[in-house]
Structure 1
Amino acid sequence: MKLRLGIMGADDSLDIIRSVVNDYAEIECLPIVYWTEEEIFDLLEPHVGQADMWLFSGQVPYSMVKEWGRIKTPMAYVPHIGASLYRTLLHISHEKSITVSELSFDTFSSDEFSRLLEEAGLSTSRIWLKSYAGAIHASELADYHETLWREGKTKAAVTCLRTAQMELERRGVPVYRVLPTRAGVEAVLSMLLRTYEMLQFKDTQIAVQMMEIDSFKGLTSGTFSTDELYNLEIKSTEKLLRYAKQLQGSLKIAGPGRYVIFTTRGILRDFTRDFVAAPRLEELSGIQDEMVTCGIGIGKTAYEAEIHAGTALLHAKESGPGSWMVFFDDKRIAGPLGKSEQITFSGASGQLQEISRQTSLSVQTLSKLQSILKKRGSAEINAHELAMHMQIMPRSARRILIELETKGIATVVGEESPHPRGRPRKVYRIEL
């Protein structure tokens, strides 16, 4: 299967990238040219889901799109490596006899630029360099270069950004462009192909869904017989067989009301929108969503995936009926899928295991707590907030906080009164 690679860049750099990509029979190219930073998102919008990976011609468009957040597939950009700069400097020196100290530069970090000059045997007492992290507007770079040129400190500008080059040309400032090299493009393409192969392998990993169906929710009256329950079980099995067929998986019965479906990670990823949403079983097979509690397990072997699915099911049952959790092969646990308050935590941590030994709390509970605090961006929380995030009763959340306070891991730092007549809520600062 070919890698569908979306490529976005300025006209000149895109030509170089495409000329290299054409040598790779395993890559199918989707090129997009942009002329201003303002049009990047509008140009990308219609093609968001059309590529397996995206490659950008430089740091600026890559950083903008990464912050945009709409692209969920792997992304990379072609860095301006030493050979790119050396080629430009050789041209300037040969054609214009301008020294490094008479030029202004951008994009490179100070340490990187100094190292490049040292490797090239170029020494200078003064460097005019505009470094930046992430994205930057072309006009800001143009202002920097133009100011130095008009003050007579430089004779020309050297920029890595095509839009900055065009803006400087419009202002009448002598400017030279640092273009990516074929070697630089080939290095990034090699990395993307290895990543794609790895993802293809991951998509074929075994995935197991362990499901519990509450047949009582399917009863229409308050009285029932065992025959009616048995009939509901048969109907549920038939519906799950239809669902398993859509997953290209196989269904096994694991006891009354419990079923196991074996499929692959890639298929489940598509059905759960990258393990964020729970599949709509009512639409897919006619089973009421609230009847099913499910744990998804990913593993390197069928046995490992099944063990992970069982653990995920236990966490799903803690979250309440109709919940879905997933246990990945790297020991991360995520969910409940489809809920507004989702958390991802690790099942293994030496530090948390030590805290677990000091307290009556499990590593899983501590991992959830750690994930919640990280997600909130604060070490402070009250019992009501903790209960909401962990989907447990407030008294259970208070027990957790009191246990941590007793062992010196949590400290009361204040109180909140959300209601005039309500009891104040203690705010705890937690140091895991």
Structure 2
Amino acid sequence: MKIRLGLLGPSDSIEFVEAVLKNWPEFIFTSIECLAQEDLDEKVTPLLMEEMDMWLCTGPITYNIVQSWNQLKTPVFYVMYKGSSLYKTVLKVLYEHKIDVNEISYDAGNSDAWEQALVEAGIEVKPKFVESETISLKELVHYHFKLWESGQTKAAITGHPIHHELQLLGVPTYRLFPSSMAVEAVITNMLRTYEMLRYKATQIAVQIIEIDPFLGIAKNNFSTDELFRMELKIMEHLLTYTKSIHGSIKSTRFGRYVIFTTRGLMEDITKNFNQMPDIEDFTPLDQEAMTCGIGIGQTVYDAEINAGNALLHAKECGKGSWMVCFDDKKIAGPLGKPEQLTYSYTSEELEALSQKTTLSVMTLNKLKSSLKKLASDELNANELAKYMQIPARSARRILTTLEEKGFAEVVAEEKPHTRGRPRKVYKISPF
């Protein structure tokens, strides 16, 4: 099977990388000239993004543009500038301008990479002006130009399009190009990653679905025959869904079903475990009555165990919730909710904290994930309840326990918009 690769960068760098890629028949590549984010907006369409298995940027500057754009969902790689691709450019500058190493400004690599390149060239000097932070192209041009204008440097080494802009400003500028070895190194890494992703896609996925058929039905408004008809209707819909994911289904008891498929197919139908799948003919009420745990594993047994764990977590979040448990014991969900979390229920560090606080490792992991998603260590019980998908009283109990054990403190009180007692704002200690 061919790997569909999107190649991004300046046209001359693309030509160089294409020449190396032609020796690797595993790849079919589509080249797109990219000098700025506007090029990505114009040329990288949603359809093209769907078609590509991977993306390769011809250098770190293009990679930074792609990362800032933040639209590509498949793996993105870039060719690193190191070794000979760095020191051959330095030697050319030194030979043509007869200047000192510290009279050159550098980017496209950190200080260690440039120092190592100089050592390989036999130059025992640490470079003085190296910009390695991920900043905008405009800022990089400004960085090199100001050093040259003030007389601190006499030349710059960078990549395209900064190279072109600096030349227009009159700065002696030298363009970095990748080496063949650097391109081959990233190609090898891409092949390994692709094999890993293919292996993961063939892992077993098991869904345990529990359906409450009585939701929305008045008491005493059903009979044994009615239950049987509901069972047939549910199974009919689930069979259609199971066929769409090329799986198999079995009923373990009334209202509980187990579906077997592969991880790759589940990733596709849930948009990489972010959305709930669309099960044909199920109404919003049906969806609300359906709670599901998805388990991923190397074997059917492992996947079923993980699916059971995911279902327990889904039930904690309420009817209609879907959760997934991966083979590394990480839990993600509820699918389709903006407050979706990813956390693990195994951790030696959290095991120790669990013993000190009496809170379960799972609870502590969900708390840790909530704080990360909030990007803050301060929150009230209502915020915690929202992100952990638990009742507010349970959130208050967690925060009170942490406070009693010295892992949280009250730092403020908020007055609610309606009548009621003030809400305490807690600051959580790092863990």
For residue 10 of structure 2, what is the amino acid of its counterpart?
A
Aligned length: 429
Structure 2 residue 214 is matched with structure 1 residue 216: yes
Comparing 234-243 with 278-287, greater Cα deviation is found at 278-287
Query: Cα 1:224–1:127, aligned 2, differ >3 Å: closer, same or farther?
Result: closer
Contact map agreement 1:240 1:285 (CA 8 A) in 2: no
* Structure-1-length-normalised TM-score: 0.92
Q: Distance in 2 between matches of 1:77 and 1:158?
A: 19
- SS of residue matched to 2:178: coil
**CA deviation after TM superposition for structure 1 residue 230, in Å:** 1.2
Comparing 366-375 with 261-270, greater Cα deviation is found at 366-375
Q: Identify the residue that residue 380 of structure 1 maps to in structure 2.
A: 378
Unmatched 5+ stretches in structure 1 = none
Q: Identify the residue that residue 65 of structure 2 maps to in structure 1.
A: 64
**CA deviation after TM superposition for structure 1 residue 261, in Å:** 0.3
**CA deviation after TM superposition for structure 1 residue 318, in Å:** 1.2
Correspondence list, 1:344-383, <5 A: 344-383=342-381
Contact map agreement 2:37 2:69 (CA 8 A) in 1: no
Contact map agreement 2:237 2:280 (CA 8 A) in 1: no
Query: Cα 1:100–1:391, aligned 2, differ >3 Å: closer, same or farther?
Result: closer
Q: Distance in 2 between matches of 1:140 and 1:234?
A: 65
**CA deviation after TM superposition for structure 1 residue 298, in Å:** 0.4
**CA deviation after TM superposition for structure 1 residue 120, in Å:** 1.5
Query: Cα 1:71–1:284, aligned 2, differ >3 Å: closer, same or farther?
Result: farther
Tell me the alpha carbon deviations over residues 108-140 of structure 1, each in whole angstroms, 9 at most, x when there is no partner.
32232222212221245x845231322431x44
Query: Cα 1:317–1:153, aligned 2, differ >3 Å: closer, same or farther?
Result: closer
Structure 2 residue 14 is matched with structure 1 residue 10: no
Correspondence list, 1:70-85, <5 A: 70-85=71-86
Q: Identify the residue that residue 398 of structure 2 maps to in structure 1.
A: 400
Query: Cα 1:287–1:194, aligned 2, differ >3 Å: closer, same or farther?
Result: farther
Query: Cα 1:285–1:263, aligned 2, differ >3 Å: closer, same or farther?
Result: farther
- SS of residue matched to 1:113: helix
Q: Distance in 2 between matches of 1:285 and 1:409?
A: 45
Tell me the alpha carbon deviations over residues 279-337 of structure 1, each in whole angstroms, 9 at most, x when there is no partner.
12245799921121100000111101000001111111111111100001111101110
Aligned Cα root-mean-square deviation (Å):
2.4
Q: Distance in 2 between matches of 1:419 and 1:285?
A: 36
1:337 alignment partner, one of 318, 335, 338: 335
Contact map agreement 1:324 1:336 (CA 8 A) in 2: yes
Correspondence list, 1:136-155, <5 A: 136-137=136-137, 139-150=138-149, 154-155=153-154
Q: Distance in 1 between matches of 2:90 and 2:401?
A: 65
Tell me the alpha carbon deviations over residues 141-186 of structure 1, each in whole angstroms, 9 at most, x when there is no partner.
3344444445555543322x11112112323333221100111000
Q: Distance in 1 between matches of 2:422 and 2:243?
A: 53
For residue 89 of structure 1, what is the amino acid of its counterpart?
V
For residue 111 of structure 1, what is the amino acid of its counterpart?
D
Q: Distance in 1 between matches of 2:352 and 2:38?
A: 51
For residue 158 of structure 1, what is the amino acid of its counterpart?
I
Comparing 264-273 with 392-401, greater Cα deviation is found at 392-401
Q: Percent identity?
A: 50
Structure 2 residue 31 is matched with structure 1 residue 31: yes
For residue 17 of structure 1, what is the amino acid of its counterpart?
V
Contact map agreement 1:208 1:262 (CA 8 A) in 2: yes
Q: Identify the residue that residue 156 of structure 2 maps to in structure 1.
A: 157
**CA deviation after TM superposition for structure 1 residue 54, in Å:** 0.8
Q: Distance in 2 between matches of 1:257 and 1:7?
A: 49
Comparing 368-377 with 140-149, greater Cα deviation is found at 140-149
**CA deviation after TM superposition for structure 1 residue 254, in Å:** 1.3
Comparing 397-406 with 328-337, greater Cα deviation is found at 397-406
Unmatched 5+ stretches in structure 2 = none
Tell me the alpha carbon deviations over residues 204-243 of structure 1, each in whole angstroms, 9 at most, x when there is no partner.
0000000001111375896111110111111211221111
- SS of residue matched to 1:276: coil
Tell me the alpha carbon deviations over residues 353-394 of structure 1, each in whole angstroms, 9 at most, x when there is no partner.
223233443221121111111211222222222222222222
Query: Cα 1:63–1:245, aligned 2, differ >3 Å: closer, same or farther?
Result: same
Q: Identify the residue that residue 89 of structure 1 maps to in structure 2.
A: 90
Comparing 101-110 with 231-240, greater Cα deviation is found at 101-110
**CA deviation after TM superposition for structure 1 residue 96, in Å:** 5.8
Q: Distance in 2 between matches of 1:283 and 1:28?
A: 39
* Structure-2-length-normalised TM-score: 0.92
- SS of residue matched to 1:186: helix
**CA deviation after TM superposition for structure 1 residue 102, in Å:** 4.7
